[in-house]
Amino acid sequence: MSEPILKINKVSKHFGGNIAVSDVTFAVEKNRIFGLIGPNGAGKTTLFNCMTGFVPITSGEVIFNNRKINNLRPDAVCRIGMVRTWQRVKPLSSLSVLDNVMVGAFAITGSAGAARKIAVEKLAQVGLADYSAKLAGSLSIGLKKKLELARVLATRPEMLLLDEICGGLNHTETASILQLIRDVREEGTTILFIEHDMKAVTSICERIVVLNSGVKLAEGTPAEITSNPEVIAAYLGGGFDA
């Protein structure tokens, strides 16, 4: 078992009396593809928001590379190497596709020339090279998701938090994104992956945590998760055949 890069230690998030995340604990090992699943409202995105400094944690700690990062601002979280994508894509709409990725690349360089070079490279990697000059707002949803991916990759993250990167995509698009994610992992990036698409999750993740109503329900390999009766009852509704 290799060293965990990320530890979530008894993290809770309350919005007033509403408990969105309750006492969740898990650890992600370096260079893994780790899945975070659960039905709507399970608290997955809230947990991402807590980890990346977008909402303050009520209690518990988030430890990244042996450093407690509870109180860091989102931009600081990015600069220490943990970068997220958004479930609802957030393209910089009136900028070109290339400029969008350059904004990401500026996290690791101050020079526009170097940023452009990184951006061109990352656009080629996700297959958006032909769209460089297009306005980001004009892309289809599938391409916007790829743009999100290129943009976070340009920051050279140590760890990627992907929030439903396959949501709303067709089979071909999903397959190509999943292949991209595998490639990124090969380059040494750790991936934490929120997904609804069970097939996608079980095909790509080595370990999975299941959240339900803000509570951790189970953790294990895809095979363990898909055969866990509690998970099937809560999330899969009993009708899932893997």
Partner 1 sequence: MKQALIIALFAAFTALLPLFIGEENPYIIGIMISVLMMAALSSAWNIIGGFAGQFSFGHAAYFGAGAYTTLILIYSFELNPLIGAAAGMVVAALIALITGSIVFGLRGHYFALASIAVAEIIRLSVLNFEFTGGAQGILLANVTLWGLDLNSKTPFYYGMLLLLVVTLTVTEYLRKSKTGYYLQAIREDQDAASSLGINLALYKNRALLISALLTSVAGSLYALYIRFIDTSAVLDLRLSIEIILTAIIGGVGTLWGPVLGALLLVPLAEALRSNMIGDALVKLGLVSETSSVGIFLNDNLAHAHVLVYGIITVLCILYLPKGILGLFRRVK
Residue ranges binding partner 1 (CB under 8 A) = 52, 54, 73-76, 78-79, 83-84, 86, 90-96, 99, 102-104, 106-107, 110-112, 115, 133-135, 138, 151-152, 155
- Asked if 165 contacts 89 with a C-beta cutoff of 8 angstroms, the reply is no
Minimum CB–partner distance for residue 155 and partner 1 (Å): 6
Taking the complex as a whole, the smallest distance from the CB of residue 120 to partner 1 amounts, in Å, to 15
C-beta neighbour count of 15 within 10 angstroms: 11
Minimum CB distance to partner 1, residue 236 (Å) = 31
Q: How far is the CB of 84 from partner 1 (least distance, A)?
A: 6
Tell me how far, at minimum, the Cβ of 198 lies from partner 1, in Å.
27
Contact 96, 136 (CB under 8 A): yes
Q: Of 236, 192, 235, 241, which Cα lies nearest the Cα of 211?
A: 235
User: Which residue lies nearer to partner 1 by CB, 102 or 234?
Assistant: 102
Cβ proximity to partner 1, 64 vs 235, nearer residue: 64
Rounded CA gap, 97 and 86, in Å? Answer: 17
Q: Which is nearer to partner 1, 95 or 215 (CB)?
A: 95
CB of 167 to partner 1, least distance (A): 17
Nearest to 201 by CA among 89, 35, 67, 50: 35
Q: What are the C-alpha distances in Å from 130 to residues 31, 113, 114?
A: 31, 19, 20
Nearer to partner 1, 14 or 79 (CB): 79
Closer by beta carbon to partner 1, 88 or else 186: 88
Q: Decide whether 63 or 92 has the Cβ nearer to partner 1.
A: 92
Strands 82-84 and 159-163: parallel
Distance linking the first and last C-alpha atoms of the chain = 27
Tokens representing residue 34 in the block: 């780790």
